Homo-oligomer: A and B are copies of this chain.
């Protein structure tokens, strides 16, 4: 059983779309206790409108929170000043041990800030990183960071590599190889950040028992042959992730024309969007935090909840903490 808190107020279509997602879940089959975080009266009304009586749902409870986070302004300043906001209440519930994980499809910067403030960073991880799992040809590929930390150093990228390796391992990928996203596979390729990161990873990762595959390129992300964890800064990773989403959508349109039938193409796109792909796992914080697409539809929100529960049943946080503590011992 996993206990998952869900932000009722985050996302482009919130709170209606979040309520739609909740109404469609089979919590018994998923073995999830769900805690909806938002104004209780609103939550009860929204669920009642979907023929859900919370009093009759032992696996569904409400945790009171006053407000969402506005899309403009500084999210860190906002959540710091608003402990009653839904993201702070949800992340706080993880920190307090009331739930095992939390999910938001709202303002991702605010979710990152709430997770860092409430749960704290893993010792040795100087910045958080958002990881997604891409459904690549040969193996799922963990891409990290897709936007939590747009500026990185070689040391930060090496931390992302370790955190991504822990995540892939927790997801059941055996002995994942870590690749540095670059623009050529030869040593010395790339910008100065990549040159420095390559040297550091080459030195540090094997000493921690992590296989380092060296530099990989953009197309390797779609194959999974060379590395099952691909590491980059949050700027490049976010551009790449959205570029892949756009390219898959474009290809689906072309295929629909080429085959004269849009339905199978649409099914591929929907299947991808509602898999683990839809959900970002925030790495480097001491609490399982899943951040979904702001434009999330109900089945994408459901994918986020399933991933949160799956991670809660593994020892993601413990594995990450132990790996970083080994590193800190070594470099002391």
Residues of B within 8 A of A221 (CB): 243, 246
A222 within 8 A of B: yes
Chain A residues 241-279 with CB under 8 Å of chain B are 241-255, 258-259, 261, 264-265, 267-268, 272
Taking the closest CB of chain B, its distance from the CB of A292, in whole angstroms, is: 16
Contacting residue for A235 out of B190, B220, B254, B268, CB 8 A: B190
Given A244-B244, A246-B223, A259-B264; A239-B151 close (CB under 8 Å): no
Residues of B within 8 A of A63 (CB): none
Residues of B within 8 A of A223 (CB): 246, 250
Bound Cα distance A63, B250 (Å)? 42
* CB 8 Å contact bits of A93-107 with B (1 = contact, 0 = none): 000000000000000
Residues of B within 8 A of A235 (CB): 183, 190-191, 194, 236
Residues of B within 8 A of A151 (CB): 191-192
A27 within 8 A of B: no
A323 within 8 A of B: no
Bound Cα distance A268, B248 (Å)? 13
* CB 8 Å contact bits of A131-163 with B (1 = contact, 0 = none): 000001100000000010011000000000000
Contact (Cβ within 8 A) B265 A239: no
Contact (Cβ within 8 A) B246 A243: no
Contact (Cβ within 8 A) A219 B236: no
A181 within 8 A of B: yes
Contact (Cβ within 8 A) B247 A251: yes
Chain A residues 212-240 with CB under 8 Å of chain B are 217-223, 232-236, 238-240
A72 within 8 A of B: yes
Contact (Cβ within 8 A) B249 A219: yes
A186 within 8 A of B: yes
Residues of B within 8 A of A259 (CB): 255, 259, 261, 264-265
The chain A residues found within 8 Å of chain B, CB to CB, are 72, 136-137, 147, 150-151, 181, 183, 186, 190-192, 194, 217-223, 232-236, 238-255, 258-259, 261, 264-265, 267-268, 272
